[in-house]
Amino acid sequence: TRVLVLHGPNLNLLGQREPDVYGPTDLATIDQRLADQAKAAGAHLETFQSNAEHALVERVQEASRQGVEAIIINPAAFTHTSVALRDALTGVAIPFIEVHLSNIQAREPFRQHSYFSDAARGVIAGLGPIGYELALQAILQAAERN
């Protein structure tokens, strides 16, 4: 199974950024755990973080050319703003799981709408970094059953 993990803006600052909201774990640690989990399952995993909307759109288009079978994405602030990134995902028609560290439904009203959720295979929010691992587990388990 070929899986791509995408992290949106400011997630490069995890660990330092609002630790009361996003926790103490940095992005390199999250990515390493996912890499270990994928390796143990014999899956191919790539991770990519960008603060730029266009870079994320281009990475999604590249994923299609690479034959990526599933995407895990935390669009971060683009969750609430980006039709372009949503269109990239629906355009390539690669199934994706939306992950958020915090429970966006329990936060400010502007975080309670996502441009991604209705197009996602599933959504995991509020469980911290474990959310990414659960998303990867779901993808790997589903692939095993097929």
Give the residue ranges of the annotated binding site for substrate. Answer: 74, 80, 87, 101-102, 111
Residue 100 engages ligand DQA in binding (rule: CB under 6 A): yes
| Backbone dihedral region for residue 126 (phi beyond 0: left; psi -120 to 50: alpha; all else: beta) | left
Q: How many CA atoms lie within 13 A of 69 on its CB side?
A: 11
Q: Rounded to an integer, what distance in angstroms lies between the CA atom of residue 100 and that of residue 102?
A: 5
- Work out how close the CB of 93 gets to ligand DQA at its nearest, in angstroms, rounded to a whole number: 23
The catalytic position among 22, 44, 113, 115 is: 22
Nearest to 133 by CA among 32, 51, 59: 32
Strands 44-49 and 96-100: unpaired
- Work out how close the CB of 78 gets to ligand DQA at its nearest, in angstroms, rounded to a whole number: 8
Residue 44 or 128: the one with the smaller Cβ distance to ligand DQA is: 128
- Work out how close the CB of 123 gets to ligand DQA at its nearest, in angstroms, rounded to a whole number: 11
Give the interface with ligand DQA as residue ranges (CB under 6 A). 10, 74, 76-77, 79, 100-102, 104, 111
